[in-house]
Every structure is written in structure tokens, then in C-alpha cells.
Amino acid sequence: MLSYFSAALQNIVRLPYEKASEDGVKYLAVIGPVGAGKTYVSRHLCDEAEKMHIPASYLGFDSYLRLSSSERKRMLQEADASQNPELVALATNQLEWYDFVALNRDLSQLKEGSHIHRQSVYSKETGELDAVLDVSTQDLLARSNGTAPLLVIDGTYLLHDGLRNLFDAVVFLYANDEVRLERLRRRDSHRRTPKEIKRQFIIAYESQMPYFRLYCESVDAVALNNERFELISANVKDLL
């Protein structure tokens, strides 16, 4: 018998297959604010898909960060020291932190079966540009047996024009502010002070929440991920 968590995840896995679309790899996006648990849930979605005999793989949006944590920290310090509101606004605008051109290119190539290999990408573990991105949908298609394979992409800024249309389904993942801040503390305490972590949380909040309010109407499902994971019937705007 499936656990509630597994059953809920399998319902999410089915979402991309409920819509008629072109042949090729199905894309499922998991979006939400920092600390919502996107990576954890996305990797478990891949595991559940495999149990359902759907070949699946994972792609993290943070792989497309342009700067390391230390470089972003220095940029913020310099902007604060300048006392120039325009520089501060630019430094804290998270939409400027990501390489959307590379992301769009890679997603377009992976859709039809390709292999992406890039070095010097962002690592959540170290905060540096010292990781390797290695994702192959060729392998997924080779393993598929009548069912289109699945690529799960997690991230924050995946809903605006030019990106949302690439995804077959989008689930919005949310957790309460205190839960997300505590997760951020546990994740980043080895490389950031408590004050820096709180500042990071505030920057993320001020950048992400307006974005979600603007684009959240296009999500297909909503999940709450506090102490318990559950699919809920809710308007995203009511959660923010």
C-alpha cells in the first residue's frame, strides 16, 4: 500500500500526461519560494516516476546561476556600501542572477532527446561554481517503453513568457515562512552568518513573491510542504 506521500507524488507525476502534447520528453516543473523543499520533492518525484515505469531525470534551475554565493555576497556588499538605490535594486533582483538564455536553449535541446554536459555550474553544497551539469534525455528515451519519459525541473522563476510554454505541467510548492527560514538556516549555516541568511531570505521574499503573484495563474496544482506534504485546493495568491 502506498504511503500518502508516495500517492500524492504519483498524482503529480501524472499531471504532464493528462494533456495532449507533442511527442518527446514530458516536462514537469516544480516551482516555489526558497526553502519550500523543491529539490527534495523533485528528486522523490523522479523516484516515484521510475516506480511507475516512467524513465525520469532531474534538472535544477540553480545550475543556471551566473555567480557563486561569494560573488553575490560581494555584489550585495558593494551595492549597500554605494548607498545607490539603483545599484541595490539591481543587486537584489534575482531575475538578473540567472542565465535564462542557456536554460531555454538546454530545455529546447533536451525535449527531443539530447545530452547536456556543462562544467563550472553552481553547487548548492559548496555555493561555488564548481559543479558539473550532466543531463541526458537520450538515455530516458532509450529506456522508454511506450510511455514518454519525464524530466523534472525545479526552480523559482519558470513561469514567465518564453519558459512556461515549455512545461507540460507546473506544480507550486509552498511552506510557511518560519519553516522555510529554518530550512535555509540548516542548509547554509556552514557558509553564511545568521544575519546573512536572514538577509538572503528577505531578498528572496521581496523578489519571489511579486513574481508568483504575477504569474501563478498558470500553475496546474498546489502542494503544501510544512511538516507534512499534501496536495491542496488553493489559490496561490491566498498562500503568499
State the SS3 of 137-171: HHHHHHHCCCCCCEEEEEECCCCCCCCHHHCCEEE
Q: Give the model's pLDDT for residue 221.
A: 96
Domain count, the chain: 1
Phi, psi of 216 (to 5 degrees): -70, -15
**Angle at CA 194, nearest 5°, toward 193 and 200?**
90
Domain containing 46 — which CATH number?
3.40.50.300
Q: Which domain holds residue 173?
A: 4-239
Q: Give the model's pLDDT for residue 1.
A: 60
pTM, two decimals, is 0.93
pLDDT tens for 100-139 read 999 999 999 998 889 999 999 999 889 999 999 999 999 9
What angle do helix axes 4-14 and 38-51 make, rounded to 10 degrees?
Answer: 80
Q: Report how far residue 221's alpha carbon sits from residue 236's, in angstroms, rounded to the nearest whole number.
A: 9
How many other CB atoms are found less than 10 A from the CB of residue 86?
A: 9
Q: Give the model's pLDDT for residue 153.
A: 98
- Lookup: cell for 124: 548548492
Would strands 221-225 and 56-60 be described as parallel, antiparallel, or unpaired?
unpaired
**Angle at CA 65, nearest 5°, toward 61 and 70?**
135
Show the low-confidence residues of the chain (pLDDT under 70). 1, 20-22
Q: Give the model's pLDDT for residue 20.
A: 64
